[in-house]
Amino acid sequence: MTVTLTIDALTVRIPVGSAVVHAATDVDLVLEAGRVHALVGESGCGKSIVASATCGLLPPNARVSGSVRLTSGSDDVEIVGAPERLLRTVRGRRIALVPQSAATYLTPVRTVGTQLGETLRHLESRYGVAELLDRVGLDPECRTLYPHELSGGMAQRAAIAFAIAGDPEVIVADEPTSSLDPDLTERILTLLDGCAGAGASVLLITHDLTAARRHADAVSVMYAGRILESGPAADVLDDPWHDYTKDLMAALPRNGLRPMPGTPPELTDLPDDCVYHLRRPGTAFSGGPTRLVRTGARVVRTRVGGGS
Ligand SMILES: Nc1ncnc2c1ncn2[C@@H]1O[C@H](COP(=O)(O)OP(=O)(O)OP(=O)(O)O)[C@@H](O)[C@H]1O
């Protein structure tokens, strides 16, 4: 059965003291079954907030509008605003999150094996503890370790084992390889490819544009809470249309390491419009109202009445 996760006009505002963080603005994303969709963009642009929203795990004081809809045949579940008892039936079984700070999700006083075993029983999983640890490249002996005995990379792999335990329809992996060496990175990304190959929708949040190019079918580029460009990964990353994506690509070592202009903005009390023109004066894509314009399989945020 084809399952999709459709994020539609997702907007998240988080009050912090007397200010408001514009953590996500009008985010549209469609995750299709059997495909890896990469979400890229600089630190603090809102990628993890989108990840949390897909699993109903936003901070309790967040103000959320828009929709995150899981569709499978005639079964339609809306995540935004769903009661916790419904979310509990969805998390792990239908949508699983590989959190960015993997170690903090484990209970410190129980071994990895005990916690993973409980998760497997709860999800009525078809896997065993040793089998899952092996799939993520961990020695099955790791079952006897406590979370504080895991390195950052081991904790990340343990988090992936928890996420895939229930064969979820959607896997949201928030920088799952940031603490791993190149070999393990490749192994984990290949494992996620395999999950997509078996029918899952995978959202891969990453700073690694080369990995996104190699492993993702589609990519969305995010800046200051907004999607600026989306489309097939090879098209967008080899031939970017938006100036922001061009700047990101030009900053890669293989493209000459040209530094990004300026620095990313604070997301506190941003104006209503896209703000990339403040970093790159003269860009035709930002500076005034913008909207996402579709051309074939590609979508690019374009200035209304003056875009390129
Ligand atoms: N619990 C929270 N309360 C208030 N603001 C938050 C909270 N979580 C995230 N933010 C803010 O929301 C914005 C987006 O953060 P987010 O973590 O989603 O960025 P990111 O793109 O995932 O960054 P990175 O690549 O560094 O992980 C940032 O300004 C961040 O400070």
What mean pLDDT is reported for the chain?
92
Helix and strand tally (H, E) in the chain?
9, 12
Asked whether residue 123 is assigned to any structural domain, the reply reads no
Are 18 and 236 in contact by the 8 Å Cβ rule? The answer is no
pLDDT value at position 302? 95
Asked whether residue 145 is assigned to any structural domain, the reply reads no
Measured by CA distance, the residue closest to atom 9 of ligand 1 is 49
Asked whether residue 130 is assigned to any structural domain, the reply reads no
- CA–CA separation, 276 and 240 (whole Å): 15
Phi, psi (deg, nearest 5) at residue 207: -95, -5
- CA–CA separation, 217 and 143 (whole Å): 34
- CA–CA separation, 51 and 30 (whole Å): 13
Inter-CA distances, 201 with 13, 90, 110, 136, 169, Å: 26, 14, 31, 18, 6
Burial letters for 78-104: b for 16+ Cβ neighbours within 10 Å, e otherwise? Answer: ebbebeeeeeeebbbbbbbbbbbebbe
State how many domains the chain has.
1
Asked whether residue 120 is assigned to any structural domain, the reply reads no
Question: Strand, helix or coil at 235?
Answer: helix
Query: Which single residue is written with the structure tokens 């390491």?
Result: 257
pLDDT value at position 308? 47
pLDDT value at position 306? 59
Residue 266 is part of a domain; what is its CATH number? 3.40.50.300
pLDDT value at position 1? 56
Domain region containing 261:
3-94+168-303
pLDDT value at position 183? 87
Which ipTM was obtained for this model? 0.97
Question: What would the pLDDT profile of 114-153 be if each residue is shown by its tens digit?
Answer: 999 999 999 999 999 999 999 888 999 999 999 999 988 8
Q: Name the region of 3 (left: φ>0; alpha: ψ -120 to 50; beta: rest).
A: beta
Asked whether residue 119 is assigned to any structural domain, the reply reads no
Instruction: Ligand 1, residue 41: give the atom nearest the CA.
Output: 21
Are 28 and 227 in contact by the 8 Å Cβ rule? The answer is yes
pLDDT value at position 3? 67
Question: Strand, helix or coil at 211?
Answer: helix
- pLDDT < 50 stretches in the chain: 307-308
Instruction: Ligand 1, residue 222: give the atom nearest the CA.
Output: 21
- CA–CA separation, 303 and 289 (whole Å): 6
CA of residue 12 to ligand 1 center, whole Å: 11
Instruction: Ligand 1, residue 46: give the atom nearest the CA.
Output: 18
Asked whether residue 113 is assigned to any structural domain, the reply reads no
Question: Strand, helix or coil at 40?
Answer: strand
pLDDT value at position 269? 79
Instruction: Ligand 1, residue 59: give the atom nearest the CA.
Output: 1
CA of residue 47 to ligand 1 center, whole Å: 8
CA of residue 82 to ligand 1 center, whole Å: 22
Asked whether residue 12 is assigned to any structural domain, the reply reads yes
Measured by CA distance, the residue closest to atom 30 of ligand 1 is 44
Measured by CA distance, the residue closest to atom 12 of ligand 1 is 23
pLDDT value at position 151? 87
